[in-house]
Amino acid sequence: MTYTGRFAPSPTGPLHFGSLLAALASYLDAKHQQGRWLVRIENLDPPREVPGAADSILRTLETFGLHWQGEVLYQIDRYDYYHSILGQLKHKDLVYPCNCSRSALKQRHAIDRYDRYCVSHPPKQHEPHAIRARFLSEKHCFTDRIQGIKKSNPDTNGDFIVFRRDQLFAYQLAVVADDEAQGISHIVRGVDLLQETFAQLELQKHLGFTTPQYAHIPLAITTQGQKLSKQNLAPSIEHLPVIPTLVSALTFLGQNLPPEPLSLSSETLLNWASQHWRVEQIPIDPIMIHTATQTGS
């Protein structure tokens, strides 16, 4: 199998240390296996997009020496393709309309697993609604290259939204469609997306798509125990010193360092790191990051 990996950030803010960890891990994994590394901007949700964030992310990746191959793919340009994928699911009767609100789900105690209310009570014609995909498999099981064997829970595998009530495509459909279109063979990303994998496996099965190999890196957490994320106002790394920040990221990922790493250029450091990359050394549990990395100081 020809290795093709990707980094797929959402432009809801600048690149922070947690994002860098995912980018660096996917980059080094690809380079270690002489593979291709692509970048995809997942800008499916225009209301949440921060103006200039996509350019800032790409600029920061280049500053840190993480150079991608090919053109950057922007999901906002691919709605016709996603509609064709949705059409395939409709043709196979694998999706159905749903207008259930969060409050309605809560009243029916259907928060963790959708109860298929709208299968027997479909929305009225022209009534605003989302589209849900059927979760038909009893369970899924896959071997994560970092987290080990993971099994889905039949009690929580509910039908999931692939097209939103506001006429935007959901993450699950777009990510599966684009991974297939780009020939993605390996996915390295944060463990906060691990549970999303089961819905993606189900869609891949529905559509006859190839299933990539998955590896989910641990979360970087703050001293308050929060995930380092844009939602938690994680600071940008755009102006942090490149080499010390890369060294911190490699250490977080459990990787060995060359002698005197702070004296190296980013190109030399990344080349050394890709040659000595060991995915089995990446820790499983969340790791608290250093205060300086959180504050950007």
pTM assigned to the model = 0.92
Find the radius of gyration of the CA atoms of the chain. 20
Rounded mean pLDDT of the chain?
91
pLDDT of 295 reads 40
Mapped onto helix, strand or coil, the DSSP state of residue 219 is coil
pLDDT of 297 reads 37
Q: Note the pLDDT tens digit of each residue in 29-53.
A: 999 999 999 999 999 999 999 999 9
Among the residue ranges 69-78, 90-99, 105-114, 225-234, the one predicted with the least confidence is 225-234
Name the maximum alpha-carbon separation found in the chain: 67
Residue 262, pLDDT above cutoff 80? yes
- d(Cα 60, Cα 237) in Å, to the nearest integer? 8
Complete domains list, the chain, with CATH: 4-78+175-295 (3.40.50.620), 79-172 (3.40.50.620)
* Token representation of residue 144: 């994560």
Q: Note the pLDDT tens digit of each residue in 162-215.
A: 999 999 999 999 999 999 999 999 999 999 999 999 999 999 999 999 999 999
Q: Which residues fall within 8 angstroms of residue 207, CB to CB, at 6 or more apart?
A: 85, 88, 89, 176, 180
Q: Note the pLDDT tens digit of each residue in 219-238.
A: 887 666 556 555 554 678 99
* Token representation of residue 21: 């960890």
pLDDT of 224 reads 60
* Token representation of residue 118: 């709208």
- d(Cα 14, Cα 37) in Å, to the nearest integer? 20
pLDDT band at 155; cut points 50, 70, 90: confident
